[in-house]
Structure 1
């Protein structure tokens, strides 16, 4: 969990330095962050230090990428940020504890969540072109359900993992779970006003 905390710190720093950047730069940072995430897959067995450096770079870049969104919410509805943060903490604590404590293998749940996530992405693309009443709320709630499964699975992996080399990859996965849950809650709390 130390890697998750460090990544969160770099995320916060990235959001701070990216708060005044143009949206085009944020998009480039978004692409670069996923390049760092993919590069981690190749360095995990070769160099733990390089993998950790890529993890921190990923946190920094995804912070820069989400900075315009966070600045927008901070300027238009700062209460939504606080509510989303608190709801995310409770959500992750609850589902993380459930995943950590359960003895049943959650690998099948992870596969279901993966396919559900792909379906959610398709639904999100449809929402761009088709106006569905309450579509954004449905999208966010479905996203929370899917990431509840991912959080449970990742926390179970955290309990079972004995290989220190894969710890940065697991930290990246948990960090992405938390970030996505936060963004879904942000949409829900902003949409309720």
Structure 2
């Protein structure tokens, strides 16, 4: 018996939604990256105090997105755009420093980040294994890494910065896989801006970890 005219299999519908969500999310990631670059350029001469304020404001945008996502897609996207510009302003002094002292490190870190995200993102998107346990472990490991970073401010540990960066890459390998699996499993297209923000944070943190590693190796 043939299906009625216009009938679509639920599998086909689900697959279409997944492709739509993937396209929208990666489009938002690209938009955020562009606005980040704009913010970094505009803030290249900012002082550290303004950068800290921009950093705090950027996370205010992320918190606002959590509340706006169910109410207004336009507001959520607007907050995502604000986050991109503000985090660019916050990171601008760091990028300006490396651009002046070791510009090659920026390109090397960028290339390593692209390969890292492509590899672990593809692995997370393709795997059928539930990564919930990986998400839980990565979250608590990230909390531990933050505490370790605070300790490094006050205690001089040999190669502490290198250890911090390597551990960070391990943790964000897990988080990147988890975020890309969420991208495949989520069906609500309204979640695209939140997923984009999470993936962009993965990319940014991985880039900063690689930047620190590469700059140390070139000294």
TM-score of the aligned structures, taking structure 2 as reference length? 0.87
Give the C-alpha shift of residue 170 in structure 1: 0.5
Counterpart residue number, 1:29: 54
1:189 aligns with 2:196: no
Kindly report which structure 2 residues correspond to 1:101-180, keeping only aligned pairs within 5 A, or say none: 101-180=126-205
1:61 aligns with 2:86: yes
Give the C-alpha shift of residue 63 in structure 1: 0.2
Cα root mean square deviation, aligned: 0.6
Give the C-alpha shift of residue 59 in structure 1: 0.5
- What is the alpha-carbon distance in structure 1 between the residues aligned to residue 46 and residue 99 of structure 2? 15
- What is the alpha-carbon distance in structure 2 between the residues aligned to residue 161 and residue 141 of structure 1? 30
1:81 aligns with 2:110: no
Give the greater-gyration-radius structure (CA). Answer: 2
Counterpart residue number, 2:31: 6
- What is the alpha-carbon distance in structure 2 between the residues aligned to residue 108 and residue 12 of structure 1? 34
- What is the alpha-carbon distance in structure 1 between the residues aligned to residue 134 and residue 27 of structure 2? 26
Where do 4+ consecutive residues of structure 1 move more than 2 Å?
none
- What is the alpha-carbon distance in structure 1 between the residues aligned to residue 49 and residue 160 of structure 2? 27
| Unpaired segments ≥5 residues, structure 2 | 1-25
Counterpart residue number, 1:96: 121
| Unpaired segments ≥5 residues, structure 1 | none
- What is the alpha-carbon distance in structure 2 between the residues aligned to residue 86 and residue 34 of structure 1? 26
Give the C-alpha shift of residue 161 in structure 1: 1.5
Give the C-alpha shift of residue 162 in structure 1: 1.3
SS of 2:80's equivalent in the other structure is helix
TM-score of the aligned structures, taking structure 1 as reference length? 0.99
